[in-house]
Amino acid sequence: MNNKRESKIKKLNRASVESFKITALYFLTAYGYLFLSDWIVMILVDDPILLNLIQSIKGLISLGLIGIVYYFIILNRLQQFIGVNHQMNQVLEQLKQKNQVLIELEEKHFKLAYYDTLTGLMNKQRLELKVNRMIEQKEPFAFVYMDIDNFGAINELKGHVWGDHALILIAKELEKLSKGNVVSRLSEDSFVLLLSGMTDHDACKVYVEEVLSSIKELINLQAEVYFYTASAGISIFPEHGHTYTDILRYANLALSQAKKNGKDQIVFYNQYTHELKLREYDITNSIKTSLQQNDFYIVYQPIIDFKKNHIRKVEALIRWLHPKLGMIPPNDFIYLSEISGSILELTHFVYESVFKQMALWNQQGLKIQVDINVSPKVLMHQDFIKNLNYYIHKHQVDKGQVIIEVTESLILSSIDQAIMVLNQLRSEGYRIALDDFGSGYSSLTYLKHLPIDILKMDKAFIATIDKNELEKQFLKFVLDLAHAMHKEVVLEGVETISQETVLKPFNVDYVQGFLYYKPMKVEELTQILQEKYK
């Protein structure tokens, strides 16, 4: 208040000073002219008549001169005012420009804070605000958490420029299919659809299936010869949770379950999924402790020479008898060990156990080949071959007795690096087997490029071969092709006599399955081998 009063007083003082200057100049000019002109006339003129005439003329001149002086005084002040006004306009324009820059910066900052820079979709922070607002308003919704299966692999093969382009296309497709619902990008290839008012599971699943189908078609067109799928996990508000954290976590749990179930699926969150995740947590935390307590052990399943009915090879399989959880299947803990990083320790346990046993068998004259399954994480580890050779030399085992089994999905996910590692293994004397051939992305054309010695055909190839003539012809074709490329073939999953009968006319190298032997402990296998080799 005092500041305003002081400012007003200053303005009044300034106006008074300017008024005084103008008035003083006016009086000085007027009185100076009158005094000077009267003095000159009195000296020069004596005639009264002429003096009156001159005084009249002088009065007119006086008015004119004073007017001119006043004009220049006003002109000067007006020019000063106009100059100041122009400066004020310039300052005002500068302020407008700076204000516009601030508005643009604010908009840019808002977009950076709440929108994905690549796709323009809402980011995680903006999504959280939106979900919280819907929860506050008690507006039901389905939270659909989706991503592209194996997107990382295709991104590596095609390059990140292609990957970014694909993600932009996916974002646009989701916006087109969203029907006005919220679409958000959470991470590299993970997206969220927020379906307002949709709580019916069946209707939600039908809609999400249509969305995923469009996305898969789009990504496969972009990927050319590759085939990729998409998965989704769904949680519902308020059925599954009442906070953003819970809704997101439960949808993520459902997505993880979809991946674990084989991908290309839609899974709704449920209590069973939650319990499975808790079990996975317990399993993950128990691996290292169980390794120290010797809860893991190795079993072996014989692989039979089909023509001679002899055991030529065995496959080493890890088993886990947990003191509280009981027998835990390999599919339940291998996957988790890869995520947690304990797969390397498990692999070292397998090396130590298997090569130590092979050395004992060799001393007993039971020299057979052993298949060892290798995880993708292990095969791609920089010290893989170094660690493998360490245990080979430690137990003095012939490398030619060791068969390294790899899966199709492993090779196809990082094909160039995998081929390089496999070539190095073969150059050192190891044999390579391609496991579960035909279970996923099989392509007969790539077989000629892979440095493998043995083709282990998935049990799906012969599951109904005793009932299906077409499967017999297809099996013969694959066998002939593999043999033409000088590769041995092992048929997995032979479980019935009728299957064996059908297979006899075919040129099968080896068979493996419950019809012959189930996986067994080393003591039982050693006894069988000793009897066979007598």
Q: Which fold has domain 291-533?
A: TIM Barrel (3.20.20)
Say if CB 301 and CB 494 are below 8 A apart.
no
Which has the minimum average pLDDT: 39-43, 202-206, 220-224, 355-359?
220-224
Please check whether the two domains, 124-269 and 291-533, share a CATH topology. no
pLDDT band at 320 (very low <50, low <70, confident <90, very high): very high
Q: How far is CA 207 from CA 29, 144, 199, 211, 232, in A?
A: 94, 11, 12, 6, 12
Check whether domain 124-269 has CATH 3.50.50.60, yes or no: no
pLDDT digits (tens, 9 = 90+) for 245-276: 999 999 999 998 898 888 889 999 988 877 88
pLDDT digits (tens, 9 = 90+) for 404-413: 999 876 666 6
Amino acid in the structure at residue 74: I
CA 33 to chain centre: 93
Query: Domain spans of the chain?
Result: 1-110, 124-269, 291-533
pLDDT digits (tens, 9 = 90+) for 437-485: 766 545 555 677 788 999 998 887 788 887 878 888 888 888 888 898 8
Say if CB 457 and CB 438 are below 8 A apart.
yes
User: Coil, strand, or helix at residue 86?
Assistant: helix
pLDDT digits (tens, 9 = 90+) for 110-169: 677 788 889 999 999 999 999 999 999 999 999 999 998 877 766 776 777 888 888 898
Residue 12 has pLDDT above 60, yes or no: no
Who contacts 403 (Cβ-Cβ below 8 Å, separation ≥6)? 313, 369, 370, 371, 372, 430, 431, 432, 433, 453, 454
